[in-house]
């Protein structure tokens, strides 16, 4: 909804990914003044359509709308972002159908590079419902010792410097400096920001941090593609579940 430029980029990338893997996708680009009732009616219509297996609402929504009510209106079986309370609860229990795309993409990346989570000190900077909280939960499910840091954390730099695996999801350009990173740490940058010159960058001061790390993800090109890939994976799983296909 509306004309948020970042949302436009994300939606275009999702549409391209659907085309690449052979999924049908439909975009409903609604004007910013669309009412809550109109949006909920659209979600309800899509819930009832058998040819639609996944529904996502690109956040953020305009301020006059209640994004929680909109997310809760999505059928949990079609909630491929895994933001619905039912799916969030299943993630907490470790008995989930879908995982939030960005945290799941991060875990897939760690698995692909054979990076062991069990027993490691894992620090997540950020406590959002979209990334920070579910990221901490997935690391915990794999026996990481997890600390969540945020704007009220005392001695935040010292806490980060203890991390074997550091995940930055704070939304502040180049927030993580070299003194906050342990020698040999794995650093995952979830941020998508712009620096003082308007250039895309992450939450990590990449150039000054990279030489201290055993692994580090770049921005752009690191976590972002994993998020899109996981969305495709979730959509395929949703289609299978809805059609009783194993």
Catalytic residue among 14, 120, 133, 174: 14
Choosing from 75, 79, 81, 203, the catalytic residue is 81
Both tokens assigned to 25: 């996708």
pTM (two decimals) = 0.93
Q: State pLDDT tens for residues 230-245.
A: 999 999 999 999 999 9
| Rg value, the chain, Cα | 18
Q: Average pLDDT for residues 27-52, to the nearest whole number?
A: 96
81 an active-site residue?
Answer: yes
For residue 47, report the phi and psi dihedrals to the nearest 5 degrees: -60, -35
Task: Tell me whether domains 5-91 and 101-224 share a fold.
Answer: yes
Tokens coding 193: 């920001």
- 46: Cβ–Cβ under 8 A, 6 or more apart, which residues? 52, 55, 78
| Known catalytic membership, residue 58 | yes
pLDDT over 70 for what percent of the chain? 100
What is the pLDDT, as a whole number, of residue 152?
Answer: 94
Q: What is the domain partition of the chain in residue ranges?
A: 5-91, 101-224
Only one residue has tokens 């669309």, namely: 34
Q: Respond yes or no on whether the N-terminal peptide bond of residue 220 is cis (omega within 30° of 0).
A: yes
The fold for domain 5-91 equals Rossmann fold (3.40.50)
Q: Which two tokens stand for residue 17?
A: 């990914």
Token pair for 137: 């939960």
Q: Does domain 101-224 have CATH number 3.40.50.720?
A: yes
Is the pLDDT assigned to residue 4 strictly greater than 90? no
Q: Bridge-partner residues for 193, per DSSP?
A: 201
Read off the pLDDT of residues 120-177 as tens digits, 9 standing for 90 and up: 999 999 999 999 999 999 999 999 999 999 989 999 999 999 999 999 999 999 999 9
The closest of 56, 61, 19 to 36, measured between CA atoms, is 61
């Amino acid at each position: 909804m509306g004309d948020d430029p970042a949302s436009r980029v994300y939606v275009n990338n999702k549409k391209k990914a659907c085309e690449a893997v052979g999924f049908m996708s439909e975009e409903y680009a609604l004007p910013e003044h669309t009412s809550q009732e109109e949006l909920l009616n659209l979600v309800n219509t899509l819930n009832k359509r058998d040819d639609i297996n996944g529904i996502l609402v690109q956040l953020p929504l305009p301020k006059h709308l209640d994004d929680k009510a909109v997310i809760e209106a999505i059928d949990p079986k079609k909630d491929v972002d895994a933001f619905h309370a039912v799916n969030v609860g299943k993630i907490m229990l470790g008995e989930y159908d879908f995982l939030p795309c960005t945290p799941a993409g991060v875990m897939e990346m760690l698995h692909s590079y054979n990076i062991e989570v069990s027993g490691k000190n894992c620090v997540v900077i950020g406590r959002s419902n979209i990334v920070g909280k579910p990221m901490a939960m997935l690391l915990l499910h794999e026996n990481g010792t997890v600390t969540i840091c945020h704007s009220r954390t005392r001695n935040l730099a010292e806490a980060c410097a203890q991390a074997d695996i550091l995940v930055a999801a704070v939304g502040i350009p180049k927030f993580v400096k070299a003194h906050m990173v342990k020698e040999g740490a794995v650093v995952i940058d979830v941020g998508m920001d712009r620096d003082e010159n308007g250039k895309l960058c992450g939450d990590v001061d990449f150039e000054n941090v990279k030489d201290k790390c055993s692994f580090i993800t770049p921005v752009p090109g690191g976590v972002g593609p994993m998020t899109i890939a996981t969305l495709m994976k979730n959509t395929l799983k949703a289609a299978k579940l809805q059609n009783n296909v194993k």
